[in-house]
């Protein structure tokens, strides 16, 4: 038997289109981390309902995200891949951890404040409790590392705080996880229409984002229209946020460094560069889209993956939960 790998947990919400920003920031790293860590990846449907979802769309998005994960290269033979709501322990641990969490800790969260403003007509308890559910996701699997974007860092800090709080109150139970910032991926992918804002599918301007399902012509057109900066040199620089963003995207899809990309486009203008980025991204998306479409036709296979993932996840989660239940004093028979 080889040495045990460290456990890694992460999740993505099935809340609609997945942008290339989500891909570069999360899914691409999930694939890269499969060999180094014992990876557990979830489709976070319990988190998704903290904002209003159309039930039929949520069901469809869950299946689509599962297919996309696999089409992007997440190997269900290597990882545990499952749907969060299929493992009841997530809600059960959330309840216990709620009793160790103070409302002020949650109402202070940046994401809660942002989402409350955005969904002012639906500021529900779930939205406020969202971070505790995320804490439970992570702690149930005793994950040592959690790859998260900058917007989830506060939630990871709460995870560490609650793990330590529980361990101090009831004795050592939870692994205190660390944030994992993958090498060379400091780049947050920005909107193509306004490089001062993060690329987001909720952007009212669809030219700002490219989704994993956009067809070739759409991808190329969106990159052609991408906002660039003054001058005409393809160079990553603080005063060139548009070009820097395109360099980051091109780099993510080709594996080339910024310096290599600058050399490649020396003496060429923005037009050539934008076309090259568009074609490269379209070429990279085509096989993923084909594989995803193939998988979506094979429901039996996808259901099987989810079932096996659920069983493997539930086994680990149950073990942690029963430890927690014992420590807090729930009677569990002899
Ligand atoms: N909240 C995360 C997001 O929207 C998704 C998520 C849910 C997650 N549970 C998690 C990420 C646990 C890391 C670990 O991006």
Residue whose CA is at the smallest distance from ligand 1 atom 8: 11
Closest CA to 12 of 99, 88, 72, 102: 72
Which CATH fold topology does 7-186+299-328 show? Rossmann fold (3.40.50)
Angle between helices 299-328 and 153-170 (to 10 degrees): 40
**Within 6 Å (CB) of ligand 1, which residues are found?**
9-13, 44, 47, 134, 137-138, 146, 148, 152
CA 12 – ligand 1 centroid, Å: 6
Residue with tokens 């005063």: 239
pLDDT at 155: 97
pTM of the model: 0.95
Q: To test the ligand 1 pocket, which listed residue (45, 148, 317) has its Cβ within 8 A of the most ligand atoms?
A: 148
Contact indicator for 96, 323 with CB cutoff of 8 Å: no
CA 181 – ligand 1 centroid, Å: 14
Q: Measure the CA–CA gap between 137 and 41, rounded to whole angstroms.
A: 10
Closest CA to 61 of 292, 271, 255, 269: 292
User: What number does the ligand 1 atom closest to the CA of 134 have?
Assistant: 9
3 state SS of 76: coil
Q: Measure the CA–CA gap between 245 and 263, rounded to whole angstroms.
A: 17
The matching CATH number, chosen from 2.60.120.260, 3.40.50.300, 1.10.240.10, 3.40.630.30, for 206-293 is: 1.10.240.10
Please state the domain extents for the chain. 7-186+299-328, 206-293
Per-residue pLDDT of the chain (334 residues; tens, 9 = 90+): 556 899 999 999 999 899 999 999 999 999 999 999 999 999 999 999 999 999 999 999 999 999 999 999 999 999 999 999 999 999 999 999 999 999 999 999 999 999 999 999 999 999 999 999 999 999 999 999 999 888 899 999 999 999 999 999 999 999 999 999 776 555 689 999 999 999 999 888 999 999 999 999 999 999 999 999 888 899 999 999 999 999 999 999 999 999 999 999 999 999 999 999 999 999 999 999 999 999 999 999 999 999 999 999 999 999 999 999 999 999 988 7
């Amino acid at each position: 038997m080889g040495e045990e790998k460290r456990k890694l947990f992460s999740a993505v919400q099935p809340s609609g289109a997945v942008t290339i920003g989500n891909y570069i920031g999360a899914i691409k790293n999930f694939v890269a981390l499969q060999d180094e860590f014992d990876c557990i990846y979830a489709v976070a449907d319990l988190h998704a309902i903290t904002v209003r979802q159309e039930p039929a769309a949520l069901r469809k998005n869950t299946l689509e995200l599962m297919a996309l994960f696999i089409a992007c290269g997440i190997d269900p033979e290597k990882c545990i891949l499952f749907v969060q709501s299929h493992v009841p322990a997530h809600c059960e641990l959330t309840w216990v951890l709620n009793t160790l969490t103070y409302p002020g800790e949650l109402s202070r969260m940046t994401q809660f404040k942002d989402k409350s403003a955005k969904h002012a007509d639906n500021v529900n308890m779930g939205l406020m409790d969202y971070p505790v559910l995320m804490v439970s996701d992570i702690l149930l699997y005793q994950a040592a590392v959690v790859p998260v974007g900058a917007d989830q860092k506060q939630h990871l800090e709460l995870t560490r705080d609650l793990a330590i709080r529980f361990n101090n109150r009831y004795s050592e139970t939870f692994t205190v996880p660390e944030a994992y910032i993958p090498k060379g991926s400091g780049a947050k992918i920005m909107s193509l229409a306004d490089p001062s804002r993060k690329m987001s599918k909720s952007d009212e301007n669809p030219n700002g984002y490219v989704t994993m399902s956009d067809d070739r012509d759409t991808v190329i057109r969106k990159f052609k229209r991408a906002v660039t900066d003054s001058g005409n040199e393809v160079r990553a620089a603080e005063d060139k946020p548009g070009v820097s963003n395109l360099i980051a995207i091109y780099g993510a899809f080709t594996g080339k460094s910024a310096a290599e990309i600058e050399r490649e486009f020396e003496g060429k203008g923005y037009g050539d560069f934008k076309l090259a980025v568009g074609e490269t991204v379209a070429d990279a998306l085509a096989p993923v889209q084909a594989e995803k479409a193939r998988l979506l036709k094979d429901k039996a296979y996808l259901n099987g993956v989810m079932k096996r993932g659920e069983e493997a996840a539930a086994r680990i989660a149950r073990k942690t939960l029963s430890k927690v239940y014992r420590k807090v004093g729930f009677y569990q028979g002899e």
